[in-house]
Amino acid sequence: MAGHGPSTDWGEDKASDYKERLGIYLFIVYCIVYAGFVLINAVSPKMMGLIVISGMNLAVVYGMGLIILAIVMGVIYNHMCTKAEDRMNK
């Protein structure tokens, strides 16, 4: 049984450098925001107990914000990479 080759030809991705830089930039932004969360916990843990929105404390709000930020950044990354691929790989 010999098998078969790839079902699609992907070819060269001329947008790969752009996608790599964008991914690194978004990763750094997320790390900075996350470092703020860790820093508050390390320096002033009581601050995380402050009620900030609708009876939720800062820890919950900040944590949910991190999750939402990650999702939004993923959508932005996908959108920008798709546009770059369409533009550069014609």
* 67 domain residue, yes or no: yes
Q: Which domain holds residue 39?
A: 16-88
In this structure, the dihedral spanned by the alpha carbons of residues 29, 69, 22 and 88, taken in order and rounded to 10 degrees, is: -160
Quick one: pLDDT band at residue 1, thresholds 50, 70, 90?
low
Does some domain include residue 1?
A: no
pTM of the shown model: 0.82
Give a yes or no: residue 10 inside a domain: no
Report yes or no on 5 lying in a domain. no
Number of domains in the chain: 1
pLDDT, tens digit, 9 for 90 and up, residues 30-78: 999 999 999 999 999 999 999 999 999 999 999 999 999 999 999 999 9
Q: 8 in a domain, yes or no?
A: no
In-domain check, residue 9: no
Count Cα neighbours of 51 within 13 Å in the Cβ-side half-sphere. 3
Mean pLDDT of 19-33: 98
For residue 45, tell me if it sits in a domain: yes
